[in-house]
């Protein structure tokens, strides 16, 4: 049995998608980075420019999800700009943040 990384619902081993939230549970590699709030926007911009990113989740020190950014192929600056503005606000409120990055394998 496996758990959904987004909503923590228990899934069967052969599940490809979460039955609760619809997130793909196969072919996804997850990485976590702990950054100071000053480096939050800069780090997310670097991750977006590297490519191969499916989702970026920002968590506070307690593990609460502050922002969940779905990243699609062909994302342009006009679409990402509001997300980066929100990251700036989060950076002002939190001291340390955890960035969870989901990539395709």
Residue 15 placed within a domain: no
- Domain tally, the chain: 1
| Contact (CB, 8 A) for 63 and 5 | no
Per-residue pLDDT in tens (0 to 9) along the chain, 105 residues: 577 777 878 888 777 778 888 777 777 778 888 988 788 888 888 887 777 787 888 888 888 888 887 776 445 555 666 766 677 777 766 778 888 888 876
Residue 68 placed within a domain: yes
By residue range, what is the domain housing residue 52? 27-104
Residue 73 placed within a domain: yes
The predicted pLDDT at position 77 comes to 52
Q: What angle do CA 23, 89, 74 make, to 5 degrees?
A: 45
Residue 64 placed within a domain: yes
- CATH number of the domain that 78 lies in? 3.30.1490
Record the tokens describing residue 58, joined without a space: 């920002």
Residue 4 placed within a domain: no
């Amino acid at each position: 049995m496996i758990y959904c990384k987004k909503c923590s619902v228990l899934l069967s081993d052969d599940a490809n998608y979460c039955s609760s939230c619809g997130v793909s549970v196969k072919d996804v590699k997850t990485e976590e980075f702990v950054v100071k709030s000053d480096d939050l926007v800069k780090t997310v911009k670097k991750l977006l420019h590297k490519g191969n990113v499916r989702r970026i989740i920002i968590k506070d020190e307690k593990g609460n999800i502050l922002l969940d950014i779905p990243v699609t192929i062909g994302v342009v600056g006009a679409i990402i700009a509001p997300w980066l503005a929100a990251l700036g606000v989060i950076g002002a409120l939190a001291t340390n943040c955890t960035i969870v990055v989901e990539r395709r394998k």
